[in-house]
Structure 1
Amino acid sequence: MRIWDILCPPTCVHCGKDVYGQGEWCTACFNEVWHERRLEGSRYSSLDWIYILADYIGGIKTMLHDIKFNRKKERALGAAPFLQRFTITCSDIRYTPDIVVPIPISESKRHIRGYNQVDLLFKNWVIQQQWRWEDILIKLDGSKPMWTLTKEERKQNMKGHFLVSLSKAKQLVPMPTEILIVDDIYTTGATLVEAADTLKSYFPRANIKALTLASGA
């Protein structure tokens, strides 16, 4: 056991019950939110499918809110058990992406928050899988907060708000044919579809899939 765990005994991310390691969940709280499912992409979008790992309720909702709005970066450790389960899914379906692309945040939001929560949630796990983490999407300033909008407004809000960083994309050799986009929350899919369409315009031969930690949909 690490010294830190002795000084600050690890507790469940949600209920505070004693657990073995930092960032772990007790069985009850994990089972309350764990809900892995796969949504097929629309025939009119560039997304093949989207995997969602949990319901956006209880401990997941509190954890993501704390990371995004309360500067509690350490709470991102709570994503690990869900991603470990998805590692098994990837093995079962024999899926290995050439690159993993995080949904970015705008520079103005990064300046305020200091970090992109998607990086905190997924990057270490991606590196552990020995996959390539490629931060090649750019989010432009100007879009409205998504939680204030209807489903149709969300679609329109994201139009034209992503760009591919050409300097980074040109360094990808060979060109990727399997791309996995990662994001924290899925609601209507507008953000993921726009990101996928943007990537498809630069990588027309790529199969593009997505993974999100949680969804209320």
Structure 2
Amino acid sequence: MNEIASIILPAIPQTLILVFVSSFISVLLGMPLGILLTLTRPGGLKENPKLYSVIDSIVNFLRSVPFIILMLILIPVMRFIVGKSYGTAATVIPLSVAAIPFFGRLMETYLSQVDNGILEAAKSMGSNNKQIIFNVLIPEAMPQIINGITLVIINIIAYSAMAGAIGGGGLGEVAVRYGYTYKRTDVLWIAVIIIVALVQVIQLLGNFLEKKVDKK
């Protein structure tokens, strides 16, 4: 039992660092990306078809690349930034790159679904675009945004487990190295149970916060 604990316990904080640092970066950069897509899309507050087309194509490209391949593509970037292409710090980079366009697209979807009547009312009261974004669009879409953040975190948990196949650290690497390579099914199942439990906790917390801010 002590042996299993010595394998599993160090991997738990690694997974938490991978997930929450990557999630923070993804939301921090994905939110303005989603706002930009919403503003420049056809019918947006600052409609710009050319700019929207370029950003839309980049988002679609990044979302279509399988995560394992994205990790391989970003190996030179990981080596440049952190000095190596494996481990917790390095894996934060591809996790963030994979999740930023995903959250950006979710933000665009949620913001564009806000009732036009509310937007027209804000415009008639003299609100500028900045005020409409931060005082109308984001507050109105906040329950959906929280749901989107929950989805991002859960996806990153899945990606982090996948990253373990090529030395990404955390519970994913423990599951692959000890559970699969060394045929330690006990370690494999404990790692899987912890990952599933983490997903369930995040989903429950996300559901709670979504209902908390939903005033409808």
TM-score (norm 1): 0.24
Higher relative contact order (CA 8 A, sep 6+): 2
The structure that is strand-richer by fraction is: 1
Higher helix share: 2
With normalisation by structure 2, the TM-score equals: 0.24
Larger Rg: 2
